[in-house]
Amino acid sequence: MKTNEFKAGVLVAAMATVLPGAGQSVETAGDLVERIKSQDDKIRGPAWQSAEVAGAPAVKPLAEVMMDPDFEVARAAKRGLYRIVRHAGRPGAKSEAKAVTMELVALLQSAPAPVRREALWLLSEIAGDEAIAPMAVLLADAEVREAARGSLMRFDGRKATAALKSAFAGASEEFKPALAESLRERGVKVNGYPSQKRVPCRKTTVGE
């Protein structure tokens, strides 16, 4: 074998041990979480910066670590989760995107409020219309409804508009102005709930 051919073969073999193939992970979720929870920045930093290789199985474990009392550990877990989502959302990775979406939707059901908020925004980056219904459920949850409203506004189409309209019909009076604003932005006429953006925040003499 020629020298150049030998070097090329070694390079390909080395890359195969580093780069994950479709549907494969070179690092387990447990390994990733263990490194992210390290108190050593030199271990924790590279861990979240390469979290995408762990894929969908790491979504739930990282979400749990986001509630860690150590701020740096919690932040690293959040950053790692965002890397997984954005990597899975790349062109040509539909199966990865679907797997990650399913894991995020599962978080909406019982995760702590801060985690549910992040899951909503992450779904708005990667999910299709299949996530709208479970996201819309949280429009009735006072702890996360604003995040649900904002994230649903990032979805085009009638399904998201219908979800907002349905939520408006049964919403509390204090939340209806926000939903009305969202509906107007989508071309839906709403009477009785004027835009709060036009309400003065301090006393004015205009019109007197």
Residue range of the domain that includes 102: 25-127
Could you tell me if residue 80 is inside a domain? yes
**Which pLDDT tens digits describe the chain residue by residue (208 residues)?**
444 443 334 333 333 333 343 333 447 999 999 999 999 999 999 999 999 999 999 999 999 999 999 999 999 999 999 999 999 999 999 999 999 999 999 999 999 999 999 999 999 999 999 999 999 999 999 999 999 999 999 999 999 999 999 999 999 999 999 999 999 999 999 887 777 665 555 665 655 5
Whether the CB-CB separation of 152 and 132 falls below 8 Å is answered with yes
pTM (2 d.p.): 0.80
Q: Can you spell out the DSSP letters for 9-32?
A: HHHHHHHHHHS--TT--SS-HHHH
Could you tell me if residue 61 is inside a domain? yes
List pLDDT tens digits, range 26-65. Answer: 479 999 999 999 999 999 999 999 999 999 999 999 999 9
Cα–Cα distance for residue pair 149/61, rounded to 1 Å: 26
CATH number at residue 103: 1.25.10.10
Neighbouring residues of 165: CB distance < 8 A, sequence distance ≥ 6: 183, 188
Could you tell me if residue 206 is inside a domain? no
Into how many domains does the chain fold?
Answer: 1
DSSP 3-state helix, strand, coil percentages of the chain (rounded to 5)?
70, 0, 30
Could you tell me if residue 38 is inside a domain? yes
Three-class DSSP category at 1: coil
Three-class DSSP category at 166: helix
Cα–Cα distance for residue pair 58/47, rounded to 1 Å: 12
Could you tell me if residue 48 is inside a domain? yes
Neighbours of 50 (CB within 10 A): 17
Could you tell me if residue 182 is inside a domain? no
Could you tell me if residue 194 is inside a domain? no
Could you tell me if residue 54 is inside a domain? yes
